[in-house]
Structure formats: C-alpha cells, structure tokens
Amino acid sequence: QQQVKQSPQSLIVQKGGIPIINCAYENTAFDYFPWYQQFPGKGPALLIAIRPDVSEKKEGRFTISFNKSAKQFSLHIMDSQPGDSATYFCAASTSGTYKYIFGTGTRLKVLA
C-alpha cells in the first residue's frame, strides 16, 4: 500500500517530443505528489508538485495531470530538449508523516 509504481523505466524521445511518465498509488491517505529531476552525480531536485484537489498543474514546459479516482498521476514535458535528459522520480506523501515514498524512476533521454 505504501508503494508508488512508476512507468516506463526508460524513455527515448526526439527533441520537441512530449515524453509522458506515469505513476500510480494505492494509499488514499497520500495528499501531496511531487516530481523530482535528477542529473548524473547530483541529488534529486523538485520540479513540480500537485495536491489531489487539483486535476492539472503547469509550470513552464512541465505539466502534472492528476486522476484522483484512478489514483494515478503523470508528468508531461512539452517541447522536450536534450537538457531535459535526466532521471525523473514521482513521489507521494501524507501530511504529518514526514515520509516521502518515491517511484522507481524513469531515465529520459532526449535526442538532439
């Protein structure tokens, strides 16, 4: 119940394409869903986050879509660039628990 399932494991797109990364969860107590971006040799960095009372959130080229009834959320990267090549993690947490459960990560490569 504490798991967050992330897919695909890896993704290759052409520059300008729209990679989509999906995550699913079981625990309905989760109430915060961030996405993190990690470059080689660096720690994960917060990219964008959403709460379950919102179905979509957009920041720049990054959009989170959230489907509460299906217990799924996804990250879309518009007009992807080679600089977006990184590993992306979804995560989920419950207020007051201080604990974030991370997905298994998606390695994205954007070809020039």
Partner 1 sequence: DTAVSQTPKYLVTQMGNDKSIKCEQNLGHDTMYWYKQDSKKFLKIMFSYNNKELIINETVPNRFSPKSPDKAHLNLHINSLELGDSAVYFCASSLGRVNSPLHFGNGTRLTVT
Binding site for partner 1 (CB under 8 A): 31-32, 34, 36, 41-46, 49, 51, 87, 89, 93, 95-96, 98-100, 102, 104-105, 107
Asked whether the beta carbons of 90 and 21 are under 8 A apart, the reply is yes
Of 96 and 112, the one with the shorter C-beta distance to partner 1 is 96
Of 15 and 28, the one with the shorter C-beta distance to partner 1 is 28
Q: 96 by DSSP, 3-state: which?
A: coil
Find the shortest distance in angstroms from Cβ 14 to partner 1: 24
Total residues belonging to the chain: 112
Asked whether the beta carbons of 103 and 35 are under 8 A apart, the reply is no
